[in-house]
Amino acid sequence: MDRMIKRPRRLRGTKALRNMVRETRMSKDSLIYPMFVVEGTGIKREIPSMPGQYHYSLDMLPAALEETAKAGVSSVMLFGIPDSKDEIGSSAWAQDGIIQRALEAGKKAVPELYYITDVCMCEYTSHGHCGALCGHDVDNDRTLPLLAKTALSHVQAGADMVAPSDMMDGRVAAIRRILDENGHVEIPILSYAVKYASAFYGPFREAADSAPAFGDRRSYQMDYHNAKEGIKEALLDVEEGADLVMVKPALSYLDVIRRVSETVHVPVAAYSVSGEYAMIKAAAGKGWIDEASVVCEAATAVYRAGAGVLLTYYAKELAKFMDEGRIG
Ligand code: PBG
């Protein structure tokens, strides 16, 4: 037999060595934890399709934020679920809106966290679409000023960063402009630039009460057959002033994360969405997979694909796994 000089196993012999030569490095600083805020008091209500995730009323939010910070996660993404909805989603930019008050309460109670807000209309409109309607379709240009004033109101209430998720054309430019005009040149925009029309958002729409009352989101969110178009979306948003771009969902779109991260020169985030979380939870609940191991493997895959920032409902657990050296 020929001498075998190249033996890949040589680098796998011990944990210390494996850790030394890891190609993918992660840090808990790059985790963002999404949270849901509702009206009312005394509410910490588990979301049925997302076990372990909750709706929090404003009085219960500080303790949950505290717990997040203690777990080693430094950033949160807030989603608001208002009591009253209308055709144009006007509670989205109300000064006493749910997100605006959540920011006030959160920043006061746990100022060390970094607060990002989701900017979209779907939780606030009576029809559940991501903007103002024209007939049965969302009117792109009429929606832009609504998104812009929503983003501004979040920043005025204390948001450190805004993240538009509506997929209207031109919204990053509209938001950048209104923020700058109002003296908020320093506030970054994390654009949900490459967002697919995905069935993996199912549990979220139950959680956020934001399912469209008719039709679907395919006239504004992307067709999952397309990857090149994702690059177009990412480049456009960067041109419009996005400071970070996101690909969403994560696990089924690793190829897109790879291509986008090789194309743009801004940080790329990926959102491991509600359906990804629910699938792991459900299978783990049945005893069919080992939850912690799968969570680590799936998260690492997203970073390996090129993401530098990860939004995930498993953020607190992942921070712990990184601390323990299990991944990272
Ligand atoms: C709002 C929004 C959605 C998600 C984030 N922001 C739902 C949607 O577009 O229908 C999904 C998040 C998740 O599934 O975890 N537009």
Give pLDDT tens digits for 70-96.
Answer: 999 999 999 999 999 999 999 999 999
Compute, in angstroms, the gap from residue 325 CA to the centroid of ligand 1. 31
Q: How many Cα atoms sit within 13 Å of 163 on the Cβ side?
A: 27
Residue type, 255: D
Token pair recorded at residue 59: 């009085």
- So what CATH class is 25-324? alpha beta
pLDDT average, residue stretch 21-34:
97
Mutate-to-test residue for ligand 1 from 32, 37, 47, 165, highest number of ligand atoms within 8 A of CB: 165
Nearest-CA residue for ligand 1 atom 11 is 201
> Residue 37: what pLDDT?
98
Region 37-45 average pLDDT:
98
Opening angle at CA 176, ends 149 and 222, nearest 5: 85
Q: 165 in ligand 1 pocket by Cβ < 6 Å?
A: yes
Q: Which two tokens stand for residue 130?
A: 């991501």
Contact 104/157 with Cβ under 8 angstroms?
A: yes
* Per-residue tokens: 159: 């948001």
Residue 2: predicted pLDDT = 81
- Summarize the confidence of residues 167-174 as an average pLDDT: 98
From the list 85, 195, 281, 316, the catalytic residue is 195
What's the token pair of residue 214? 């008719």
Nearest atom in ligand 1 to 273's CA: 15
Site to substitute for ligand 1 among 32, 53, 79, 120, most atoms within 8 A of C-beta: 120
Q: Residue 223 has what DSSP assignment?
A: P
Nearest ligand 1 atom to the CA of 204 is: 14
Helix (H) or strand (E) holding 101: helix 98-109
Q: Token digits for 257? A: 């994360």
Using CB atoms within 10 Å of the CB of residue 183, give its burial: 0 to 12 exposed, 13 to 18 middle, 19+ buried: exposed
The first and second tokens of residue 65, run together, are: 């934020």
Per-residue pLDDT reduced to its tens digit, 100-116:
999 999 999 999 999 99
Pocket test for ligand 1, best of 210, 216, 253, 314 (most atoms within 8 A of CB): 210
Ligand 1 centroid to residue 205 C-alpha, Å: 7
Average pLDDT over residues 205-229: 95
Sign of CA dihedral 124, 162, 68, 291: positive
Taking residues 152-171, report their average pLDDT.
Answer: 98
User: What does the pLDDT average to over 167-190?
Assistant: 98
pLDDT band at 1 (very low <50, low <70, confident <90, very high): low
Specify the length of the chain in residues: 328
Both tokens assigned to 74: 């430094």
pTM: 0.97
At 90 the pLDDT is 96
User: What does the pLDDT average to over 162-180?
Assistant: 98
More confident residue, 149 or 208: 149
State the Cα–Cα distance between residues 19 and 12, nearest whole angstrom.
Answer: 9
Main-chain dihedrals φ then ψ at residue 80, nearest 5 degrees: -110, 140
Tell me whether residue 28 is one of the annotated catalytic residues: no
Q: How much is the mean pLDDT over the chain?
A: 97
Render pLDDT for 192-211 as a digit per residue (tens, 0 to 9). 999 999 999 999 998 998 99
Q: 263 pLDDT exceeds 70?
A: yes
Which residue matches tokens 């400071």? 243
> Does the beta carbon of 122 lie inside 6 Å of ligand 1?
yes
User: What is the Å distance from ligand 1's center to 202 Cα?
Assistant: 9
- Distance of alpha carbon 149 from the chain centroid: 21
pLDDT in tens, 58-75: 999 999 999 999 999 999
